[in-house]
Amino acid sequence: MAILETRARITSEGRQVFSGRVRSSKEHRGKASKLQFDDGARDDMAYWLMKSEPGTWSWDDQVRDGVAEWDGVRNYQAANNMKAMALGDCCFFYHSVSEKSVVGIVEVVRLYYPDPTDPSGRFGMVDVKALRPMKRPVSLAEIKAEPRLADLALIRQSRLSVLPVSDAQWRIICEMGETKP
């Protein structure tokens, strides 16, 4: 049995884009086939920001390991954000606590699956791959000072560890960090 999951969104240019994936009963635990209903570009990509304490897991750790699981999330909203991720979605890697800055970009390479570090069995994790560092880290103070980022979830929901980022916010932060989107 196949299930078609679709989503539609409006790009910042006002273009409506449809995307989806097909899942069968054999394709489980995040193994999905991606469909694209547009010109072939990844216009359906969603963007995220994932926070990590550099003393626990840093950008350098992520680069060293290449692909690693993003585990330990124990907030339902953050877990739901990870469940909404698709293969190929990009995420800002954010150093929290002392540094408070976007330092790199990772890509989702494995969809949400059970987190073995959760004894309750209620939470899961995704795997991410290091793509590139920000040429210039973008601090929380800079983000707060940018009026176009006033609605960024990082500012509105500061305690959330995995947050959505809009297309426009993604481009602005990449521009601030002198990094290719």
- Look at residue 140 and tell me whether its pLDDT is greater than 50: yes
Residue with tokens 């976007």: 102
- pTM for the complete prediction? 0.77
- Look at residue 93 and tell me whether its pLDDT is greater than 60: yes
Tokens read off for 87: 């293969």
Altogether, the residues listed in the chain come to a count of 181
Domains, in order of start, for the chain: 1-41 (no CATH), 45-176 (3.10.590.10)
81 in Cβ contact with 92 (< 8 Å): no
What is the band of 35 on the pLDDT scale with cuts at 50, 70, 90?
Answer: very low
- Look at residue 50 and tell me whether its pLDDT is greater than 50: yes
Tens of pLDDT, residues 143-180: 999 999 999 999 999 999 999 999 999 999 999 999 99
